[in-house]
Amino acid sequence: MSTIPPPLPQHPASMPPPPRGWWKRNWKWALPVTVLTFIALVVTLIVIVLFAIRGSMMRSDVYADALARARAHPDLVETIGTPITPGFMPMGSISTSSENGGSGRADLMIPVTGPDGTGYLAAMAERRMGTWTWESLLFVPGNHDPEHILTLIETGTPVEHHPLPAP
């Protein structure tokens, strides 16, 4: 009996390459789809935040009273005409607190447009003991001419509550 092993083949049997993974097969379309999905989600989040901020400003008593007083002010109606429509996005801030019976401050720039001109309502109000009072409400014309700035309300006048329009 011989203990010699059988001879080895000259060329080993070639093994098929391992199958490629999902990412290696699909990266050319999966990478752009992933990046575009991420960008779309970020843009959607930004739009949701902007609309939430816009909605909270437009639901405030200061915003609603500023527009109501602007639409009823005869000099402003004569200057830019009627109807007076607000712009898309008011600028500024509204801060409130429940301390001391309700305090806060509102500083808004509300773009307004009429058939005969455009401009901004500069609205500044303060809240003490839960009641808003006007510090100033001015109309600044679109050309920023200081001679044509209109004062729409006297300091210390209470801000009136206006019901929200029906959707």
Nearest to 116 by CA among 79, 152, 144: 79
Which sequence spans correspond to the domains of the chain?
23-58, 61-151
Closest by CA position to 60, among listed 112, 143, 151, 124: 124
Q: For the beta carbon of residue 118, count every other beta carbon within 10 angstroms.
A: 14
The SS3 assignment for 1 reads coil
Q: Which tens digit of pLDDT belongs to each residue from 7-64? A: 777 776 677 788 888 888 898 999 999 999 999 999 999 999 998 888 888 888 899 9
Name the pTM for this structure: 0.74
How high is the pLDDT of residue 13? 66
- Annotate 62-92 with b (16+ C-beta within 10 A) or e (fewer): bbbbbbebbbebeebbebbeeebebeeebee
